[in-house]
Chain A
Amino acid sequence: MSNINQEVINVILEKLSSVEIKIKNVSFNCIYYKYSRIRTSLIHQTDIFRSVSDTNSIPSYTHYKFTINYKTLNLPFILDNGTDSKIFEEALTIALSLRSQDSDFHWLEKFSLDSDSFSEFGDDASGLPVCRQKIPRTRGSSSRESMFRFEMESRKAQYTKLRDCSIFVGTWNVNGQPPPPSLSTWLACDPEPPILYAVGFQELDLSKEAFLFSDSPREAEWERAVITSTHPGAKYRMLALIRLVGIQLIVLIHIDHYGYVRDVAWDTCGTGILGKMGNKGGVAIRIRLYDTTLCFVNSHLAAHQDEVQRRNQDYRDISDRINFRKPLKLLKSMSVYNFNQRLIQVLLHFSQVYWLGDLNYRLNKLTHEEVKRLLHFHEISNILKYDQLGLEQSGGRVFEGYTENEITFQPTYKYDLNTDKFDSSEKARAPAWCDRILYRGKGIHQVTYRSHMDHRISDHKPVSALFRSDIAVIDEAKQKKVQEEVFKLMDKLENEILPQVTVDQTEVLFGIVKFKEPVTREIIVANTGQVPVEFNFVNKINEDSYCKEWLRISPYCGSIEPGEKCDIRFEVNLEQHLNKFEDILVLHLENGKDIFISVSGDCQRSCFTASISVLCRCSLPILLMSPEQLRLAEAQQSLVLYSVPRELWLMVDFLYRNGLKTKDLFESTALHDDIMKIRDWLDYGSLNPILDNVSAVAECLLLFLQHTKDPVIPYYQMEKCALCTNFNMCQMIIAQLPDLHRNVFLYIAMFLKELLKHSAENGTDVKMLATIFGNIMLRNPKAKKDRPQVARGKVTFVQHFLDNDISGLIMPKQ
């Protein structure tokens, strides 16, 4: 018995997937083992991790829990410490075979959004902003099923008891003869009636008709003979009768136990002419009696003294080819169990197999006379030394794993008809034990093994064996209790295997954030669960993004392995005025819970994000205004003090005085810090002059025009402006603008015209200035894209004012 260890897993995985798998970082000495990733040479990735299920009881591990993600399915197990590696292997095989059956998944197709993703809550959630449909896809139901079976199987002793059942197995090569009046000296020779009869015949019908048309009157005759000759102490019912040419098998059940038989099936396998005709071969009946599966095989193997190899081959063919895919429905309540085609040696999977028949193995070397002499001295064991079956079986060439009790009766072949004398014909075939009964499986106790000499119609004597076999009977009450325990265990597992993370803070506070001055905060997300976590931020209801436009999250999705952590960085960058900014983000764990993360802060006022009408009412820098003054200005209840905003005038005036001859005035970028200094100078006011940096002031001017709360040309008039075809139309529209907006527009236009006068020095031209200022003064509502016509029209609109004389448009100061 070997304990589970790395090598064992390695070997098994190699065996099962037939690709090279290497496990690294496997360690059994921590709370949960280092999650290790295995790459296969296939494109699929296999993940394996293990953990101690009870973390409180380290280091005395009680369980290893395995979850092997193979392709997209998990195969979870729990194994006791020191578990035989074979059990692990078996469980894995079962799980894999169940997995590949995939029958459990059909019902889900309806709910799946796409065929790859397995979801238990598919179509109701498709419209949900939070991707709810992905929540519960923890494990495929087939692996759950396999794990359940495995757990139940390992606890079987807790809810099954063994019941002693007598099984009578008989075999007789009847040489094509009709049945005698009674078979009771063969079938009813024991004192107590058996619970089950399995009676096999060979050479039931030697006629050509039977061979060619598989139709034989003998079938019914022998059936009747068997039924009427059963033990008089009980009534029997037929469970199944199957015949392949002359090979017939009948299974009868004691009437009292009839209700406890399920899953009856049969199969046949011809190994005769061409390797498949039915003159030789085997038939098999499989039943489930209480909770043990029994299989009876009746075979007639190749004849003749020297055909040992052929007989061995016939045995192997029958073993391999019997697979019970032809179910026989005899009882209404019986359910049919279809076996997986892939399980080749189905016979290996039965709890108990009884193999009977004319196996045709002879005696090596011994002549007729020698056998007779030895028999005379009752030296059966000496003759058995030459028995081909015994020799082949002990040589491992046939009936591996089967047991045959010691033979104490004389050879059952070949007798002169109607006598007990061995063959006296010219051929004088040496006697042999052709007719045999073997068994394999747990809990089988053979009571008798005998021949029945008084049946003389055939050249063979019938043989019978009485078994007392342990049949498992499930105690339903106990089973239910164990089942509940397993359910609980699996529920617990399922909840444990849900992804778990801890987040160091769910309230991210940004304090006061200024215009265009990004502030970042970080949170730490640690995977404190047992499985890798995939996280992403998901949209809330009625929102088309997982966060507001002023926030950037990086990374917004990713994966974290158990024990690892991930820093998530939040960056707030404000380009508009919000009294307070706040949002609740939904951090979603794939297949698991959601965590809400609140983000909030205050926005500092700035002239850059105020409206033109407010700024024209401000006598002081905006941050020096009292809340009441601002309230009145916002309500347009205070006096308009300036025809254009003070801040705009300060910037333009500076540029007018210092920047007219600066090269590439609006095309060079300034340092962010300088821009922030100018912002503060404008917002707080200062006795010092404005920062002496022409390009920074120029950029601030653009920023100012770009971020005013309402654009210079109001949204509702933007398109009309852009579609103007001549200067007259432009003049008419400009006349309709609110006074202050018109002032700003013309003020800028006048300044640009002034700039153009020095275009030789500053390198500007009409087209370039019109393009830059057209796009910022004729702004779009956010996230709306211009039609190409409108985009061109904006530039043309501004250009009209730069090309024409506009001095007449300037209104006298109010």
Chain B
Amino acid sequence: MSAGPYNYSYIFKYIIIGDMGVGKSCLLHQFTEKKFMADCPHTIGVEFGTRIIEVCGQKIKLQIWDTAGQERFRAVTRSYYRGAAGALMVYDITRRSTYNHLSSWLTDTRNLTNPSTVIFLIGNKCDLEGQRDVTYEEAKQFAEENGLMFVEASAKTGSNVEDAFLETATRIYQSIQDGRLDLNAAESGVQHKPSQPGRNLSNDLHQKDNCPC
């Protein structure tokens, strides 16, 4: 059988952070199960999800840790930042307070992760346009000022959810290619699995030619 093996070349660790109720778990669920989870209970702890994606012809396993957003858990959830290659920082476009807290989340992320960690800002619940409390433009500006990637998404409709996870991975992968992210660093959040000789070699070569990056 010549099908490309299920083996992945990299493992990327992601964390999802942000205030309580902004929809972190729903984003994860939408990404892993392609379903919207209505009546999602508050996460009391750290949930764990995984999915294999393909970026530039490379199979990458994403390990996603979805953290509790409640303020009282903040001290505990800080221990999960370490070794994250990607951080998805989520706010709710219908609740300004969740947007106002971003700088505190960002400070934690910067302090607790390494400089090459890709931070992606997600304005969730963009399906609720009528209740919008944070404009796209100001969030966009905030993202630009802080060098974050940004998108407005909806865990309910699935809009842009896939993109946020995949673009983060693409950016991490580019960092690896550029050498900005040192795979050997203890906390890179990335593990590389060298492709095995003799397996699907032609396929790999073929894919490399088509790689857009």
A residues adjacent to B (C-beta < 8 A) = 103-104, 107-108, 111, 120-121, 123-125, 128-130, 132, 135-136, 138, 141, 144-145, 147-149, 152-153, 156, 262, 288, 291, 333, 335-338, 474, 479, 483, 486-488, 490-492, 494-495, 498, 506, 540-541, 584, 586-587, 592-598
Contacts and interface: CB of A to CB of B under 8 A. Distances in A.
Contacts of B80: 130, 132
A144 B6 contact: yes
Given A135-B63, A594-B46, A490 B82 contact: no
Contacts of B82: 124-125, 128, 132
Contacts of A335: 197-202
Interface in B15-46: 32-34, 44-46
Given A121-B83, A336-B198, A584-B76, A148 B68 contact: no
B50 A491 contact: yes
A125 B83 contact: yes
A321 B125 CA distance: 65
Contacts of B32: 491-492, 495
Cβ-closest 7 pairs across A and B: A148-B6, A595-B45, A541-B79, A124-B83, A335-B201, A152-B3, A594-B46
Interface of B: 1-7, 11, 13, 32-34, 44-52, 61, 63, 65, 68, 72-73, 75-76, 78-80, 82-83, 186-189, 191-194, 196-202, 205
A130 B33 CA distance: 27
Given A121-B11, A483-B4, A130 B79 contact: yes
A262 B202 contact: yes
B76 A152 contact: no
Contacts of B6: 144-145, 147-149, 486-487, 490
A153 B6 CA distance: 13
B65 to A, nearest CB: 8
Given A128-B82, A145-B7, A498 B2 contact: no
Contacts of A598: 72
B108 to A, nearest CB: 12
A156 B73 contact: no
Given A491-B51, A506-B44, A141 B79 contact: no
A492 B47 contact: no
B194 A107 contact: yes
Given A121-B11, A335-B199, A128 B47 contact: no
A808 B114 CA distance: 67
Given A495-B49, A506-B44, A132 B63 contact: no
A495 B47 CA distance: 11
A135 B61 CA distance: 14
A585 to B, nearest CB: 9
A141 B7 contact: yes
B3 A479 contact: yes
A592 B46 CA distance: 9
Contacts of B13: 121
A506 to B, nearest CB: 4
Contacts of A587: 45
18 contacts: A104-B196, A124-B82, A124-B187, A135-B65, A141-B7, A145-B6, A152-B3, A291-B2, A333-B202, A491-B51, A495-B32, A498-B50, A584-B72, A587-B45, A593-B47, A595-B44, A595-B45, A596-B44
Contact of A593 (B1, B48, B52, B186): B48
Contact of A487 (B33, B48, B52, B187): B52
Contact of B50 (A338, A495, A506, A597): A495
B33 A492 contact: yes
Nearest to B6: A148
A154 to B, nearest CB: 10
B194 A541 contact: no
B187 A483 contact: no
A586 B191 contact: no
A337 B198 contact: yes
Nearest to B201: A335
Contacts of A148: 3, 5-6
B1 A149 contact: yes
A596 B196 contact: no
A242 B52 CA distance: 44
Contacts of B7: 104, 141, 144-145
